[in-house]
Amino acid sequence: MHIDIITLFPHMFQGPFEEGILRRAREKGLLSIALHDLRAFGVGKHRQVDDVPYGGAPGMLLRPEPIVAAVESILDRPVFRGADTAVEVETLPPIILLTPQGRPLTQAVVKELARHDRLVLICGRYEGVDERVREFLVTDEISIGDYVLSGGELAAMVLVDAVTRVLPGALGYERGAEEDSFASGLLEGPQYTRPPEFRGRQVPDVLLSGHHERIAAWRRDQALKRTRERRPDLLEKRTSSEDPSSGE
């Protein structure tokens, strides 16, 4: 998986991509990330990337030319669907704008993105981007939740982390991602490690029993209970075929 990230703040990405699973995925060659400074594609002597909204409104908008120039330079082909340009959208990697107006990022979306061998991420900034970028350049818009961030950078890091975790071989053990919350449509139940007793609090007996079937049944029960208590909306979304309590 190769991910190109277009941003006004490339330095923001340095810490998160150099630790843990992301670092290992890059070292193993499963993931490569190229950061592209939007400023380098700015207009004129001052490399301008933003301007005031037509019609008057507070704040600044990202202009279309730097963003389009960045994507066309990265992909080395025309990508803007201008009035007189034909673009074969089918042969493009997803060109994704991170914006609170996008479709919500879910584990299903993460898996869908992970099937591509390349992604281009555009981090929105300021009060937004010129509408022609959404209409004629990007192929997808994604949000990471119903709250406002100062820009798409943190959202892009979240997306890259989530996508990397589902790349085959990224975790170093193979069942993890499947058992994570949301992969099954359920929250994970409680987990314990050593010591078996801590300040008078015991690990549940069943987990120490060595009885694999009983342990699996207990975990399913606990996951269902936790999901019912905390995220009943997830249970409603599941199909009955996924429900481990059906058919028992």
Residues annotated as catalytic (active site), given as ranges: 100, 127, 165, 180
Site string for ligand 6GU, 106-125 (x = CB under 6 A): ------------------x-
Binding footprint of ligand 6GU, residue count (CB under 6 A): 13
Which residue among 15, 90, 117, 147 contacts ligand 6GU (CB under 6 A)? 147
Which residue's CB is nearer to ligand 6GU, number 109 or number 206?
Answer: 109
100 binds ligand 6GU (CB under 6 A): yes
Q: List, in sequence order, every residue forming a beta bridge with 7; answer none if it has no partner.
A: 37
143 binds ligand 6GU (CB under 6 A): yes
- Segment contacting ligand 6GU (CB under 6 A): 28-36, 75-83, 97-105, 182-190? 97-105
CB of 30 to ligand 6GU, least distance (A): 24
Which residue among 20, 145, 172, 195 contacts ligand 6GU (CB under 6 A)? 145
Provide the pairing of β-strand 201-202 with 197-198: antiparallel
217 binds ligand 6GU (CB under 6 A): no
- Segment contacting ligand 6GU (CB under 6 A): 45-53, 77-85, 142-150, 213-221? 142-150
CB of 96 to ligand 6GU, least distance (A): 9
* Subset of 151-190 contacting ligand 6GU (CB under 6 A): 151-152, 155
DSSP state string for 95-154:
EEEEEEEEEEP-HHHHHHHHTSSEEEEEE--TT-B-HHHHHHT-SEEEESSSS--SSSHH
Closest CA to 35 of 121, 143, 125, 135: 121
86 binds ligand 6GU (CB under 6 A): no
Closest CA to 227 of 182, 193, 192: 182
Q: For residue 103, which phi and psi values (nearest 5 degrees)?
A: -75, 145
Q: Give the span between the Cα atoms of 203 and 192, in whole angstroms.
A: 7
Residue 14's contacts (CB-CB under 8 Å, 6 or more residues apart) are none
Which residue's CB is nearer to ligand 6GU, number 42 or number 152?
Answer: 152
Which residue's CB is nearer to ligand 6GU, number 142 or number 166?
Answer: 142
**DSSP type of residue 63:** -
- Segment contacting ligand 6GU (CB under 6 A): 10-18, 66-74, 84-92, 148-156? 148-156
Q: How far is CA 155 from CA 12, 53, 67, in A?
A: 12, 24, 18
59 binds ligand 6GU (CB under 6 A): no
Helix (H) or strand (E) holding 218: helix 212-230
Q: List, in sequence order, every residue forming a beta bridge with 121; answer none if it has no partner.
A: 5, 96
Query: Any idea of the CA torsion for 80, 75, 26, 14, to the nearest 10 degrees?
Result: -60
CB of 114 to ligand 6GU, least distance (A): 18
Which parts of this chain interact with ligand 6GU (CB under 6 A)? Answer: 98-100, 124, 143-145, 147-149, 151-152, 155
